[in-house]
Amino acid sequence: MCRQSATVCLVKSPSPQQRELSGMDVRLRALPDPRDRRGRRHSLVSVLLTAACAVLAGARSYLAIGQWARHAPQDTLARLGFHARGPLGVRLPASPSTVRRVLVLVCPGGLADLLGHCPAITESVAVDGKSARGSRTDARPAAHLLSAVTAAGRTVSQLRVPDKTNEITGFAALLAPFDLTGTVVSADALHTQREHAKWLVEVKKAHYLMVVKGNQPKLHAAIKALPWKEVTARRYDRGAGHGRRETRSVRTLTVTGLGLDFPHVVQAVKILRHRTDLKTGKVTRQTVHAITDMTSSQASPQLINRIARAQWGIEAVHHIRDTTFTEDASKIRTGHGPENMATLRNLAINTLRDAGHRSIAAGLRETSYTPFTRPLDLLGLPLTCTAT
């Protein structure tokens, strides 16, 4: 059974061995083709590679992907795995309707896992959700996508939260396929749940860093009441960017034996942020409390600060999808289309960052200058594709 998205996918989720295969075209063969066997003109792998390359070249819709494919030269179509047909050996690309049909039907959980940044997650991974507002219809709410992002800003996987539920129900399903041994999983206050903490520590052998806010009133009050003025373990950090200057103070306190009622909790964290708007001079102050199962020797204030910043960094990925790819304005609504297109956008961001682009918008522009060679090169597609 595939991990759930808007509906249940009756296909098997990829195994760790399949996710570790080096070639993207080879890895994608693990996905069962959801189309009827009769009338298939193009392989599933070829259609998915076409969509991935087109999005990397700047396409934002099914029609744009189809237009990219229609203008692709024969050598590009050959690398994508389209077969030569007829006496002249001409390769014909997938049409926009074929692209749409595939992306609406293909299993989103398997596609997200296979196109994720890496099969092994190091140090930390942040979990957070985002709604694709343009996918809302009169009958259904907007697709809400829960993502796992590494400290380096690479999206590992995502899934669509089933309608009429919330992110809490998708937390374990999102992370279950991955080996999290020794990894720190950070999450916002919504996921500060006893069951999540037990599952991470006892089942996945991982660590957690969870924000505590008013949705856990007793726990929040108990943490605020701790003797923070007596804490000596602290970290100061300063930075500037996006028109503001920020100073952060991170304090950690061992709470074993202090009666903090939460599974496996060892340390409490207090993060104080002062932000100064460089244009207006306005100063804002924010205090964030968190808890972790790591001891002071495992997690110093410096490490806690780095992991907390990585958690906030997931918002940067969402911002890129909104501004550079105009995800919230996208009118893709049916089937698994919203989550699969979001997966392709995540792949484009991961790929451009791996290629050294700090600005994703600039990376897309550079890729668009040679749209039929550079996307394939960036994705590591061989000169002769083996897609079937």
pLDDT in tens, 81-129: 999 998 999 999 999 999 999 999 999 988 988 887 654 566 789 999 9
How are strands ordered across the β-sheet holding 207-212? 155-160, 143-150, 124-132, 184-187, 207-212, 283-292, 267-277, 244-254, 234-241
Contacts with 83 (C-beta within 8 Å, 6 or more apart), sequence order: 91
Q: Report pLDDT for 232.
A: 77
Q: Report pLDDT for 360.
A: 95
299 vs 288: CA distance, rounded Å: 17
Token output for 84: 């030569």
Q: Where are the domains of the chain?
A: 16-114+331-378, 124-323
Q: Which residues pair with 235 in a beta bridge?
A: 250
pLDDT digits (tens, 9 = 90+) for 199-219: 999 999 999 999 999 989 999
What φ, ψ does residue 96 adopt, rounded to 5°? -55, -35
What's the whole-model pTM score? 0.86
Q: Report pLDDT for 3.
A: 46
The residue ranges of the chain whose pLDDT is under 50 are: 1-13, 17-21, 119
187 vs 236: CA distance, rounded Å: 22
Indicate the pairing of strand 143-150 with strand 155-160: antiparallel
The residue ranges of DSSP E strands in the chain, in sequence order, are 84-85, 90-91, 124-132, 143-150, 155-160, 184-187, 207-212, 234-241, 244-254, 267-277, 283-292
Q: Report pLDDT for 12.
A: 37
Q: Report pLDDT for 45.
A: 95
Q: At what angle do helices 96-105 and 62-71 cross, to 10 degrees?
A: 130
Q: Report pLDDT for 17.
A: 46
* CA atoms lying within 13 Å on the CB side of residue 367: 29
